[in-house]
A and B are shown apart, each in its own frame.
Chain A
């Protein structure tokens, strides 16, 4: 038994030795070398010092046209923001107000932050669809909306670093911890000093029913609103809400609106199979373009069809 143990121990030592020699190498050789060509397709980041910025230029004039076409629907023609989508302009001097208004002009630190973000994430439903010169032009136009450049300005690789955003110097490092509570156990407050200042009432009828309820706050920082309904809605409507509504709610680029009979007149006549096919495969019409599945490629054909039925159903 003793010899069995020692031979087992010997085996263990041998195994451990093997394992540790593998871990000691610190280099596994997994993965493949990233080629310059491969890196170039993903290497999109831009820094304040201009690192990563591609050569090119774009004018405020070109930017205005592009902005109206691709950005104004959500951000407003003057950068004022629509339907809760962010405002891009205005708000100068409000950062110390009760209700600060944070925009590119009033809050953002660097022109590079703007260029990088438009390039990586905008337009919202079609990221990475803009050319470099289009990103330059839209960036220039947003600067113009904030009165930071004139209407004949052309933003370029060369003059990029000369455009400072006003709030740059107000970004500071994190200085926490900045609160210094103590672990008091007894007599920590004067009883008279304790007042309920704000309170949220749960609807009495719903207490215990564990359903989300409407908010009613005595002091509300936001408009009072309904919490999400936990009950599933019909699939077509759900898909519509999550994907299609982004454009179809407001008729972006000629998209027919679900509750607008005039939008659907002439379309419904083609028959559902045609409408569904256009939605799945994409369609270039007189009034605008429908991307295949609206750009939401993860949707199945059935899901797209369900969404079309929901939209058309509203008009039958």
Chain B
């Protein structure tokens, strides 16, 4: 059927459409090239009123041209990016979510940041198993089919790598909100409450911790306290309405809402119930917070209240004086966002922004505020307050307690400097 459709389509193709389709496909190949740079596809006056554009005077392509749809080729600049000097290779590495170009609070699955410790495994779902054992009455092995028979739950929650912004502890360093804050995403996650599975296996008395372990080559492992497991932790198989993306742990992952992304073990294969934590490499050598006195905080799970302005940003400069809609994202691992305030003078005066999205606990919340820009330089900041009353700290407050070597959990108020030419610089203030 697809084949005959294609042939039929060929007969119908006008020379104009064939040319356009050729341009579209060649754009797909060049990927990141900006639309405006390609001859013949730029917004030329031929397409503007009173002229009627070519696409209005011809037939478009048929259904199933893309059996699984992709973003417009004109959006090909919206993609994950990495910073190669951060890691020795791309197999144990990270890529960043393009926050400046995203709308609302849901991160499209294809641009959710990646974090691998031993590369992206290809797992056959029919041969994937989740084993739950240890201090349980009934050690069990579940197939994906088994897991999808349990009552399912869907929640919208953010996911943030605890190292998000970690390159900025000593000073402004990254050129763009994708790199200063892009180890961050928010998706609808669907799966089974971990508490449901734990009651299925039966937890023995004295069981206080669970080791979660991945099926990738790193066998990523983290110790999770029982109270989180019984509260809102979930075993997740779907994301934004479809099965998990491979990059997000297909076919199964753990989600600990509001907690550091590293605990949300991907490609989950095993949960072992025990009475004490395991102190494994990814919760001691890594993902621990070194303090100025030489002590290190272990099991620092919660991603505290944070926010950032995504537009303007280095990626979204202003072009001329005038009225602008300033917007950004706020989130807290402790619950809902209560207020977001915006300052244009480096924190002397603040105005409350308004929420432009639904406000959910432990989810990204979008805020916005209107601003009249007269061309003078600004020091633009956002400051979030969560429902516990916690106010996002300044860099000075953070560094006073934690110094500059703790790598993780940097949630300081961020500053964009708006220059008179409208360009935006990442700066830090005294």
Contact = CB atoms under 8 A, between A and B. Distances in A.
A212 interface: yes
A221 B159 CA distance: 26
A227 interface: yes
A221 to B, nearest CB: 4
Nearest to A212: B81
Contacts of A55: none
B89 A245 contact: yes
Contacts of B372: none
Among all A-B residue pairs, the 10 with the closest Cβ atoms: A198-B171, A230-B32, A179-B393, A219-B171, A225-B85, A84-B88, A181-B391, A298-B122, A117-B281, A174-B300
Interface in B23-74: 29-34
A266 interface: no
A221 B165 CA distance: 13
Given A197-B430, A231-B30, A226 B84 contact: yes
A131 interface: no
B269 interface: yes
Contacts of A30: 142, 146-147, 149-150, 200
A101 B218 CA distance: 23
A160 interface: no
A124 B118 CA distance: 7
Contact of B430 (A176, A188, A194, A208): A194
B278 A45 contact: yes
Interface centre among A38, A83, A193, A217 (most CB of B within 10 A): A217
Interface in A170-225: 170-189, 191, 193-202, 204, 207-213, 215, 217-223, 225
Interface in B154-200: 167, 169-176, 178-179, 199-200
A187 B348 CA distance: 5
Interface residues of A, number: 104
Contacts, number: 315
Contact of A242 (B31, B91, B140, B279): B91
Given A225-B84, A242-B91, A34 B139 contact: yes
Contacts of A121: 117-118, 217-219, 281
A245 to B, nearest CB: 7
B219 A228 contact: no
Interface stretch (B8-16, B104-112, B234-242, B398-406): B398-406
A232 interface: yes
A51 B179 CA distance: 41
Contacts of A95: 290, 294, 296
A217 B172 contact: yes
Nearest to A44: B219
A117 B121 CA distance: 19
Interface string B339-364: 10100011111111000000000000
Contacts of B146: 30-31
Given A202-B425, A227-B179, A220 B173 contact: yes
A39 B171 contact: no
B429 A194 contact: yes
Contacts of A208: 317, 319
A34 to B, nearest CB: 4
Contacts of B272: 43, 45
B207 interface: no
B140 A32 contact: yes
B298 A43 contact: no
A48 B279 contact: yes
Nearest to B172: A198
A227 B297 CA distance: 31
Interface stretch (A9-17, A62-70, A107-115, A270-278): A107-115
Contacts of B409: 176
A227 B295 contact: no
Contacts of B349: 185-188
Contacts of A170: 294-296
B127 interface: no
Contacts of B138: 33
Interface stretch (A20-28, A132-140, A141-149, A257-265): A20-28
A17 B302 CA distance: 40
Interface string B402-417: 1001000100000001
Contacts of A202: 175-176, 314, 423-425
Contact of A33 (B91, B139, B391): B139
A164 B315 CA distance: 49
Given A174-B300, A194-B379, A199-B417, A127 B141 contact: no
A195 B395 CA distance: 13
Contacts of A157: none
Most central of A121, A199, A211, A241 by chain B CB within 10 Å: A121
B227 interface: no
A113 B280 contact: yes
B211 A207 contact: no
B92 to A, nearest CB: 8
Contacts of A209: 34
